[in-house]
Every structure is written in C-alpha cells, then in structure tokens.
Amino acid sequence: MRRLGLLLLSFLMLGLLFQLTAPLFETPDEIWHIGLAAHLARGGGLPVQRPGESTPWRQEGSQPPLYYMLLAVLTRALHLPLEDLDQILIVNRHPAPGDASLPDNKNMALHGSWERFPWQGAVLTLHLWRLFSLLLGMITLISIYGALSTMAPNRTRWALGTAALVAWNPMFLFIMGAVNNDVLANALSAVALWQLASLWRKGLSGFRLILLGLTLGMMALSKLSGLALWLFTMGVLLALRNRHPLGLWDLLRALAIIYGSAILLSGWWFLRNFFLYGDPTGLNAMLEIFGRRAPPRTLAELFSEIRGLVWSFWAVWGWFNIVADPPVYLFLEVWGILSALGAIRMGIEAWRQPRCELRALWAGAVGYTGLVFLGLLRWTSLTSASQGRLLFPAIGPIAWMLWMGWEYWIRRWTRRESMGWVWAPALIWMAISWISPIRYIWPTYAISPWRELPAEAQTVHAVFGDHLRLVAYLPGSAAPGQRLPLTLFWECLQPTERPWSVFLHPVLTPRIRDVHQVDRHPSRGLFSTTDCRSGFRFVDPYWVPVGSGNEVPAVLRLRVGVWDLDTGWIAPARDGQGRPIDYLILEAGKIQGRASLSPTYPLDVHVGPARLIGVDRPLEVRPGETFTVTLYWEVEAMPKEEWRVFVHVGDPNRPPVFQHDGPPALGELPARWWEPGDQFADPHPLKVPPDLPPGIYTLWTGLYRPDGLRAEVVGPNGERPAHRAVELGVLRVGTPSWVIIAPKP
C-alpha cells in the first residue's frame, strides 16, 4: 500500500502541474462543459437542446447530467463565486482546434491577468472544479489497482504496474485535471470493474448487487458510452454461472437487482430524452448541433485517423493541437506494437492454461476494451471523434494488457528472476509526464513580453485607435508553399472595451499573387486587448501562408490594421509622425526562390553588386507606342546602397531621348532585399514620344544610387566604360502607324 500511496502522490503532483500549465477553457470541450455546469450551479434547470440556438454549453447540453450536477452541488454548498464568469470567458474569434500543424490560434479563449495566482472569483471556482476532477482521477487509480489485486492477489506487480501506466499517461493526466464529464465516467467505469472483480472472487450478495446497479445507473447518468458497461456486466454475470453454481432463478434475481437499481436511478433521463427529442439517448439533438461527419475518403486518411487515435490516447494536448517531439511518438509506436504483439502471445498462452482466473482476466480485458472500442467506432461513424481519450473508460484493461505484453518480452529477453526492465516503459512515461507540461503546454499559451528590440527590427511607432502602438517589426522570409514569419512588437496605451483582432492583408502585385490573409487576436491568438494595461509590451509573432503562385524572389508587403470582428469596425491609424493613414503597409519579408530565367538576348556584364545576364527587348517600335524592356539580373554580393535601375534610349553621354528609371522589379524587389544568388526579371515600361523622329537608337541600362552616382560596369572582357552603362542593343523607331489626312481645298 505504501507504493500505491507514493503512486497516488505522484499522480496528484503531476495532475496539479498539468492543471496549472493548461489555462482555463483549454482542454477538450471544457469551455462548454463549464457553461453547462455554471448554468446548473446558478439555478438553471436541465437545458432543452434546440439546433440553431446559441448556448454556452452547445452540444454538451445533450450529455447526461450527473457530473454537472455534482459540480453545481459543490458550488452551491461551498458558496463558490461565479458572478464574473462571463467577464473572464472571452472567446477566441479565430480558433483552430484539432490542427497541430498551425503555430498559432491553438486556444479557444483569450487569456489575461485575471487568471494569475492568487485566483479570485470564477477563476478560483473553476480551478476547484478541476481539482474535483483530479480527485476522481485518484479514485480511478485506486479502483484499477483494487480490481487487479482482487482478480490476481498474488500478482501485486500487475496491479501496481498497471496503475503506474495509467497514472503516468500524459493524456490521462491532462484529461483527469479538466472540467469534463469524461472524468466521472472514467472513475465510475473503474469502480464498476472493481465491483465485478469482487463478484467474481467473492460471489453474489444483495449488497454487492445493489452497489453495482447504482454504479451502472450513475455511469449511464455520466456519459452515454457507459451503456457498454451494462452489456459487459451482463456477460460477466453469465460467466459467473460457471464459477459459482447459479440456478436460472438466481441469475434472473441478480439481473433484476442490478438493472432494476440502475434503471430506477437513471431511467428518468432516458424518458425525458424520449419525450423531448423522440430518442431516449438524445443523440439526434446532439448531432444536429455538433454536426455529422464526412467519412475518410482514402486509406491514407483512415490510417491517419488510426494513428491520431493512438497518439491522442497518450500524448496530444490542448484542443488536440499540441503534440510532442517525434521521439515521443517513435517510442510510443515501437513500445506499443511490441507490447500489443506480446499481449497477443500472452493471451494465447493464458487461454491454453487451466487457470480460470487468468482466463477471466484476459477475457474481461479484451471483452470490455472491445465493447468500448465498438462504441467509439459507432460514435466516430456519426461525427468526427477519433480521440484516444474516449477509450479511457477501458484504460485499466488496456494498460494491463500492455503491461502483460511487455512483461512477455522481458521474460524472453532476460532471466525470469530479473524483472527490473519491465518497469522501463512506465518510468519513461513518468519522465515524459514531468516534461510535457513545461516543454509543450506552457509555451503554447505563454504571452511573451519584450524590453529591448532586436538590432535588426524595423521601427514603426504607428498608433491604432489610441490604444495600441506598433513600435517595430521583424521581417522574415519563406519559399512558396511555406509560412513567412513576421514578428510585431506592440506597446499597450490603454485597454479596449472589446477584444480587437489584427489583420494582415497582402498587397497583391504582378509578382505577389498567392498569399493568404491573416486575421487573429494578438500574441498567437492568446491576448485580449481588453487587458492591455498601459506600458505593457508584448511580442506578437505571425506566420503568413505563402502559396506557390508567386514569382520569386519578391518582397511581400502587408496592410496591417486592428479591428473588431463582431462589428467590423476598423481602428483609425496614425503613422510615426502622427499623420492619419488608411492602412499601415509593411515590407513583411521576402519570398525566396530561384527563378528559371530564359532571356532572349544573353549578356554577361557585372554592374555593381549584380550581374546582368540577359535582356528581352523589341527590335522596332513606333512613335507613341509603349513597350517593355525586361532585364535579367543575378545578385553576386550584398548591396551596400539602395540601388535603382535606369533604362535610357540615346547617347549614354547625353541626356536620354526617353527613359524609365525606378527601383528593381517595379519596386517589388528593392536592392536592400537582395541576396547573393538571387535571380529575377526586371521589367521596365517605356513610352516612345509621339514626335520622336524615325531612326536607330541605342538602349542602355545600369544601376545608380539615390544621389545619382552610377554603379561601376565591368564587361565580359574586363572593359570598364566611363559612362557606367551597359549597351543593350539598338532600337529602330519606325514611322507612325497613323497619318493626318488634310482636308480637300
């Protein structure tokens, strides 16, 4: 018992760590479980579900009510406050649950200073609700240990090892410290299995039968999946006829006591559902609200669901969008496959042995796990719910089979007397459980303040709505198909009345055509501007999706603004000089890549930090026409100047006849963004003066600084022209394509 006590203590400490690192409302469906429990605690009756109606509990209003009733009784008995719940629950308007590939918007609620310790008001109440769930988790562990100790009293290692695998399961710790009706269902399932083990070992008695019936009734009032336990109990009672001589009358009497007690306790719930929804389970109303699923379309999608189911049984947190490092899942899959194979071998060997207790253990573990799994398959066929946590009612049997499977290999690989290695997986999971809250969960929800700007940050000092100042930003880079990182550095001026969102909308150009806009709350979607205390500075990273339909390389410019999603109101903006602006436009970063260039006329001329590798140009034009000369550049060195490009027509030592001067790539790739290896097309539109005489003219190009000084030109043979211009060839200007017809005299 001392070892069990230490195990429970470790579970409690780990559970508190998970509870403290996961903010309120950030466990699966917790936001709606809290909404239903608070409704009951405030004196509201059981809700009637109406599809299309917005409620704080959404589909959870269709759940059996026992867990929420217990929280309501606890709240009213201890006079726990809930008055400010609506003020601390600020919903994220841009959530992305279930998508672990996204680096932001992993939260369903916005968070602020009201959640800091010492807790007050509704925050304190919700943490006490979580603590209540954690205590139910301890009951689950005790029951699992008790069930195995009852079935195999001489195999204490099995009971302790199984309880350890459960207690140190990172996902079990995460769920059992949350406000969720799964917690009560898991606990009652373990209690019922312990009661069934007692019936198997000690025989039937009226007291045990009534207790089991009440447990089944409470299970049905906790979660609909608890009906699998009703079927399993029927199977155990039928099997008891072979262990304890039972006549048909005794069996019917036992069934009547168990299911009569269960129905007396829970039957009213099913009758209520039938009269309200025409369905005793109430599933039809829940599915109308939650939504029905589209089945997997390919084998790859199906395999992904199976893998996700296994992963989320052990180590997927948040709203199923926080994952561990790949080595964790590699260990999970290798150990899991080995243990499953070993369990199959152990089960076959046990079935060949005459020991009925071992047979009963394997039959019960496989049977109950199978029933729970079939229930999950049914639920998953109706809606998207491939979540490993839904197998937790059978977590004790599953953990025991995995323990036995691993023990099988240890017996094969080591001496039978040496069983120390059998504890290795449990200890590894314990280490992962200690690491996970700090490494994976806490950083996901941390809002990062800043004191000093990075040296490479670009200062802005733009003010939005007199509430937020964008002090600076740090641009990034990405290839097509990636996400371009952009970091904003904000300073709070004063809190807003409503939570504001930030928008980043791309400035579309001939080179930038495929970039997705970003709309979300600041600081990875976590921060509520209603908590924007004066002087607080925080880092706000973004990852802008860049499509494959862009011409590379190019500079991505974004319109940045702040707005209220609910009303559509956009906060007025002022630039760093206090002048009103419609939008703040930032050079957010560079879309990198090597373009495939095929100039019509190849060249090889060095111009300052770049090499002119070719040109596209017409041979003949007419007065009044507009034509394009496209230069093809390859950057050789990081530029030290803000170079501009000129394309002149005429004598290079005289003023041009006509020209086009401007930044490279029509301003879409300024020289300050050049990097060695960049290759890009640089179009220059030129208009022939209508009165230009026909003739032969020469095209010239080069680079020049803002002060007019041209970059040095080095030809393919080392020549350095004094005029610092590259000859592109001659251009024939023909006669106009139109004539003036003089009127007849």
* DSSP label of 515: B
Q: Is the pLDDT of residue 257 over 70?
A: yes
Give the model confidence (pLDDT) of 517-542 as tens digits: 999 999 999 999 999 999 999 999 99
Q: Is the pLDDT of residue 296 over 60?
A: no
Q: Which fold has domain 601-733?
A: Immunoglobulin-like (2.60.40)
- The band of 740, judged by pLDDT with boundaries at 50, 70 and 90, is very low
pLDDT (0 to 100) of residue 412: 85
Q: Which of 70, 171, 180, 151 is nearest to 400 (CA)?
A: 151
Token pair, residue 118, equals 């010492």
Chain segment 37-56, per-residue pLDDT in tens: 999 999 999 999 998 899 99
Least confident of 334-338, 525-529, 718-722, 739-743: 739-743
Fold of 458-589: Coagulation Factor XIII; Chain A, domain 1 (2.70.50)
Contact 98, 311 (CB under 8 A): no
pLDDT at 562 over 80: yes
Is the pLDDT score of 57 beyond 80?
Answer: yes
**And the tokens for 96?**
């992305």
Please write the tens of the pLDDT for every residue from 330-375.
Answer: 999 999 999 999 999 999 988 887 777 788 899 999 999 999 999 9
Residue 614 pLDDT more than 90? yes
State what percent of residues in the chain have pLDDT above 70. 96
Q: Residue 602 above 70 pLDDT?
A: yes
**Phi/psi at 704 (nearest 5 deg)?**
-145, 155
Query: Could you give the residue range(s) of every CATH 2.60.40.770 domain in the chain?
Result: 601-733
Residues 566/498, Cβ–Cβ less than 8 Å: yes
The string of pLDDT tens digits covering residues 193-202 is 999 999 998 8
- CA gap 136, 475 in Å, rounded: 49
Peptide bond before residue 553 is cis, with ω within 30 degrees of 0: yes
Backbone angles phi, psi at 731, to 5 degrees: -130, 125
3-class SS of residue 327: helix
The three-point CA angle 535-23-333 to 5° equals 130
Q: What is the pLDDT of residue 666?
A: 93
Burial of 741 (0-12, 13-18, 19+ CB in 10 A): exposed
Strand partners, 426: none
The Cα-based distances of 188 to 181, 212, 523, 644 in angstroms read 11, 10, 40, 75
Q: Is the pLDDT of residue 416 over 70?
A: no
- pLDDT-derived band of residue 5, with 50, 70 and 90 as boundaries? very high
299 has a pLDDT exceeding 70: no
Asked whether the predicted pLDDT for residue 28 surpasses 70, the reply is: yes
**Does residue 302 surpass a pLDDT of 90?**
no
> What is the pLDDT confidence band of residue 636, given thresholds at 50, 70 and 90?
very high
Q: Which residue has the higher pLDDT, 292 or 311?
A: 311
**pLDDT at residue 119 above 60?**
yes
Summarize the confidence of residues 633-652 as an average pLDDT. Answer: 96
Separation CA 477–CA 214 (nearest Å): 62
Burial of residue 662, with CB atoms counted within 10 A of its CB: 0-12 exposed, 13-18 middle, 19 or more buried: middle
CA dihedral 237, 242, 246, 252 (to 10 degrees): 30
pLDDT at 297 (0 to 100): 54
What pLDDT is stored for residue 745 in this prediction? 47
pLDDT of 744 strictly over 70? no
Asked if the model's pLDDT at residue 501 lies above 80, the reply is yes
Q: Shortest CA distance to 467 belongs to which of 440, 430, 499, 442?
A: 499
Please say whether the beta carbons of 318 and 98 come within 8 A: no
The 8-class DSSP code of residue 438 comes to I
Residue 245's pLDDT band, with cuts at 50, 70 and 90, is: confident
Indicate where the chain has its CATH 2.70.50 domain(s). Answer: 458-589
Please tell me the predicted confidence (pLDDT) of residue 742: 47
Q: Which residue shows structure tokens 């729970």?
A: 372
Smallest CA-to-CA distance from 59 within 381, 277, 294 is with: 277
